[in-house]
Amino acid sequence: MSVKGLLRKEWKQSRAILFLITLLFLFHFPIRAMVSIENWREEVRSAPAEAMNYLEWSVHSALGMSVFSLVIIVLLVTLAVQLIGSERSTRRQDFAFALPYRRRTMFLVKWLMGVVPVLVLYPITFLSAYFMIVSSEFGFHLDGVNFLEAFMLPLLGFIATYSFTLFIGTITGEMISQIALTFIFTIFPVGILVLVGYFFEVNFNNGYFFGRISEEASRFIWPIYTVYNPTSAMGDGEFMNLWIPLAATLLFVGAGQWLYEQNHSEFNGEFLIFKQLEPIFRAGIIVCFALLGGMVGSGLVPWSLKNGSILELVFYWVGAAIFTYLSILLTKRLFSMNITIKGK
């Protein structure tokens, strides 16, 4: 059956966000490049010696992260939440599942609704900004830039972030939990290693190993790929690998389609769609809160009294105990709530 009706349905609830994303890509690349070129010319005229000290970094930054790219990430997450989490919270998904479409097709249309605009807008705006700079008198500063990395890494970062948020939406029962778990699991690869490393540092005076591997784990924080800058450590090809976000996107789409087929509509509005995941999440929340509480508690000890002192250990475990108790109360409330919103 034709998917035109499905496309119209998703377009109707997505068009406002997609319009904002279009404007932001225009500001992020071509408009920012035009303004930057004029600023560089003015700086060279007014203080040529000082301008040359940071001009190369400034030129590279014109193709890197900006406040606009951060807002684009927020809007892509919002779009994914709108397409899955909001449907669950308002019970509109009950109507959607009654339509004569396979769930795999429905999920793929939702994914394409966010990915296709990025695949169209990003190359147009990036290349226009790139050629503006290359054709200016400052173009030689881009001679040493790896064009493939500069172009592909942010693009894959945007797509991986959106795909990840959709994937999270397939296991959550409403929009708030989709937002919360998207944020938590975005920083989880580094966050859990920092917490475990701090635990070993305080209790065994040895957390160096976890500090080292946390740097490697940052490769799995998908929005970080959008902050590419050739002059930073993140712009090092050894740090960022094109295959990581690409493979992650394929994994999220494949797993997301399968999970979306298994979704149980009767659990819409609850924290999780799959009840068999609740014990895992309960244990994970309690352990993470305990580790966080220990970090907060030991942080109250004056710096001069640290370095593995008994006082630091006591404060660590008191903080861990308090946060463990609070997390038990939180999980009881979290997994018993049912959030639904009246929608049109």
> Which string of DSSP letters, residue by residue, matches 216-263?
HHGGG-GGGGGG--TTSGGG-TTT--THHHHHHHHHHHHHHHHHHHH-
pLDDT of residue 174: 87
Picking from 279, 281, 311, 316, the residue whose alpha carbon sits closest to that of residue 296 is: 316
Q: Please tell me which of 18-32, 224-238, 325-339 the model is most confident about, judged by mean pLDDT.
A: 18-32
Q: Is the per-residue pLDDT at 50 higher than 50? A: yes
Percent of the chain with pLDDT over 90: 51
Q: Is the per-residue pLDDT at 234 higher than 60? A: no
pLDDT of residue 340: 59
Query: Tokens representing 208?
Result: 């160096």
For residue 274, report the phi and psi dihedrals to the nearest 5 degrees.
Answer: -100, 110
3-class SS of residue 343: coil
**What pTM value is reported for the model?**
0.90
Confidence of residue 241 (pLDDT cuts 50, 70, 90): confident
Query: Tokens representing 161?
Result: 């972030």
Instruction: For residues 85 and 12, give the distance between their C-alpha atoms in angstroms, rounded to a whole number.
Output: 16
Q: Is the per-residue pLDDT at 344 higher than 50? A: no
Query: Tokens representing 181?
Result: 């778990």
Instruction: Look at the block and give the residue holding tokens 């966000």.
Output: 17
pLDDT of residue 219: 87
3-class SS of residue 144: coil
Q: Is the per-residue pLDDT at 341 higher than 70? A: no
Picking from 92, 107, 120, 42, the residue whose alpha carbon sits closest to that of residue 256 is: 107
Picking from 152, 123, 144, the residue whose alpha carbon sits closest to that of residue 249 is: 152
Query: What does the pLDDT look like over 94-118, one tens digit per residue?
Result: 566 667 778 888 999 999 999 999 9
Range in 68-82, 131-145, 172-186 the model is least confident about: 131-145
Query: Tokens representing 304?
Result: 């001069």
Q: Rounded mean pLDDT of the chain?
A: 87
Picking from 283, 278, 260, the residue whose alpha carbon sits closest to that of residue 336 is: 278
Query: What does the pLDDT look like over 141-178, one tens digit per residue?
Result: 888 788 888 899 999 999 999 999 999 999 998 899 99
